A and B are shown apart, each in its own frame.
Chain A
Amino acid sequence: MLLTSFSFKSNVKKKLVDPVLQKNMKRFGGRFVIARAEVMKEVDNLEDIRVAAAAIRDGILANLDSYLITFEERAQARGTTVHWAETAQDVNRILIEIAKANGVRKIVKSKSMVSEESGLNDAVAAADMQVIETDLGEYILQLADEPPSHIIAPAIHKNVEEVAELFSKHHHTPRQTNIPALCREAREQLRPHFISADMGISGGNFLIAETGSVVIVTNEGNGRMVTTLPKIHVAITGIEKVLPTLNDLSTILRLLPRSATGQSITNYVSMLTGPKGADDVDGPEQSHIILVDSGRSRLLGTELQRALRCIRCGACMNHCPVYQNIGGHAYGWVYPGPIGAVLTPSYVGLKNALDLPQASTLCGACEVVCPVKIPLPELMRVLREQSFEQRLRPWSERFSIGVWRTMANHPRVYARFAQVAARLLHLMGGKKGLLHWLPGLDGWTDGRDMPAPTGKTFRELYAKRKS
Chain B
Amino acid sequence: MSARDNILARVRRGLNLPGDVPGAERSEVLRAINDNARGPRPTYGWTDHAERFSLRSKMLSTTVDRVATLNDAPAAVVRYLNELKLPLNAVAWPALSAMPWSATGLGLEFRGAKDSDLVGITGAFCAIAETGSLMLLSGPDTPAAVSLLPETHIAILDVSRIVPGMEEAWTLLKSQQSAVPRAVNFISGPSRTADIEQTIIIGAHGPYRVHVILVG
Q: Among B79-87, B119-127, B181-189, which stretch is in contact with chain A?
A: B181-189
In the assembled complex, how far is the CB of residue A329 from the closest CB belonging to chain B, in whole angstroms?
A: 17
In the complex, A87→B139 CA distance in Å? 37
- Evaluate contact between B11 and A84: CB separation under 8 angstroms: no
- Evaluate contact between A220 and B3: CB separation under 8 angstroms: no
- Evaluate contact between B22 and A90: CB separation under 8 angstroms: no
In the complex, A222→B197 CA distance in Å? 19
* Residue in A45, A227, A253, A282 whose Cβ sees the most chain B Cβ within 10 Å: A282
- Beyond A65-B8, A70-B33, A279-B140, list 13 extra A-B contacts (CB 8 Å): A45-B40, A64-B15, A84-B2, A134-B205, A137-B195, A182-B196, A211-B180, A219-B191, A219-B204, A265-B60, A265-B133, A281-B143, A298-B14
Given the known interface contacts A267-B190, A270-B183, A270-B185, the answer about A280 and B14 at a Cβ–Cβ threshold of 8 Å is no
- Evaluate contact between B182 and A253: CB separation under 8 angstroms: no
* Residue in B30, B167, B184 whose Cβ sees the most chain A Cβ within 10 Å: B184
In the assembled complex, B165 has its CB within 8 A of some CB on chain A: yes
Given the known interface contacts A253-B166, A281-B143, A283-B183, the answer about A267 and B192 at a Cβ–Cβ threshold of 8 Å is yes
Q: Return the 10 tightest CB-CB contacts between A and B, nearest first.
A: A221-B206, A300-B14, A251-B39, A220-B204, A137-B195, A281-B112, A279-B140, A221-B191, A250-B166, A221-B205
Chain B at the A interface: SS class? loop
Of A140, A187, A213, A246, which is within 8 A of B195 by CB? A140
Residues of chain B within 8 A of A239, CB atoms compared? 7, 11
- Evaluate contact between A265 and B131: CB separation under 8 angstroms: yes
In the complex, A154→B191 CA distance in Å? 18
In the assembled complex, how far is the CB of residue A201 from the closest CB belonging to chain B, in whole angstroms?
A: 15
- How many chain A residues sit at the interface, stated as a range, is 35 or more
- Evaluate contact between A180 and B197: CB separation under 8 angstroms: no
- Evaluate contact between A59 and B32: CB separation under 8 angstroms: yes
In the assembled complex, A254 has its CB within 8 A of some CB on chain B: yes
Residues of chain A within 8 A of B184, CB atoms compared? 270-271, 273
In the assembled complex, how far is the CB of residue B157 from the closest CB belonging to chain A, in whole angstroms?
A: 17
- Evaluate contact between B8 and A69: CB separation under 8 angstroms: yes
7 intermolecular pairs with C-beta atoms under 8 Å apart = A69-B8, A219-B192, A221-B205, A247-B36, A247-B37, A271-B180, A271-B184
Residues of chain B within 8 A of A276, CB atoms compared? 138, 182
In the assembled complex, A266 has its CB within 8 A of some CB on chain B: yes
- Evaluate contact between B145 and A228: CB separation under 8 angstroms: yes
> 1/0 contact trace for A238-276 toward B, CB 8 Å?
010000111111110110000001001111111111111
Of A65, A155, A180, A301, which is within 8 A of B201 by CB? A180
In the assembled complex, how far is the CB of residue A172 from the closest CB belonging to chain B, in whole angstroms?
A: 20
- Evaluate contact between B112 and A159: CB separation under 8 angstroms: no
Residues of chain A within 8 A of B6, CB atoms compared? 86
- Evaluate contact between B197 and A66: CB separation under 8 angstroms: no
* Residue in A153, A163, A298 whose Cβ sees the most chain B Cβ within 10 Å: A153
Closest Cβ neighbor of A141 among chain B residues: B195
In the assembled complex, how far is the CB of residue B37 from the closest CB belonging to chain A, in whole angstroms?
A: 7
In the assembled complex, how far is the CB of residue A50 from the closest CB belonging to chain B, in whole angstroms?
A: 10
In the complex, A45→B43 CA distance in Å? 8
In the assembled complex, B42 has its CB within 8 A of some CB on chain A: yes
Given the known interface contacts A250-B167, A268-B187, the answer about A275 and B133 at a Cβ–Cβ threshold of 8 Å is no
- Evaluate contact between B199 and A179: CB separation under 8 angstroms: yes
- Evaluate contact between A247 and B203: CB separation under 8 angstroms: no
In the assembled complex, A183 has its CB within 8 A of some CB on chain B: yes
Given the known interface contacts A70-B33, A84-B4, A220-B205, the answer about A250 and B170 at a Cβ–Cβ threshold of 8 Å is yes
In the complex, A193→B3 CA distance in Å? 33
In the complex, A187→B204 CA distance in Å? 6
Given the known interface contacts A63-B25, A66-B25, A183-B204, the answer about A269 and B42 at a Cβ–Cβ threshold of 8 Å is no
Residues of chain A within 8 A of B148, CB atoms compared? 221, 224-225, 228
Residues of chain B within 8 A of A272, CB atoms compared? 182-183
* Residue in B11, B42, B189 whose Cβ sees the most chain A Cβ within 10 Å: B11
- Evaluate contact between A136 and B140: CB separation under 8 angstroms: no
In the assembled complex, how far is the CB of residue B19 from the closest CB belonging to chain A, in whole angstroms?
A: 11
Residues of chain A within 8 A of B38, CB atoms compared? 247, 250-251
In chain A between 138 and 167, which residues have their CB closer than 8 angstroms to a CB of chain B? 140, 153-156, 158-160, 163
Closest Cβ neighbor of A209 among chain B residues: B33
Given the known interface contacts A195-B115, A271-B180, the answer about A66 and B205 at a Cβ–Cβ threshold of 8 Å is no
Closest Cβ neighbor of B206 among chain A residues: A221
In the assembled complex, A391 has its CB within 8 A of some CB on chain B: no
Closest Cβ neighbor of B94 among chain A residues: A281
Of B3, B8, B186, which is within 8 A of A68 by CB? B8
In the complex, A57→B93 CA distance in Å? 38
In the complex, A68→B17 CA distance in Å? 15
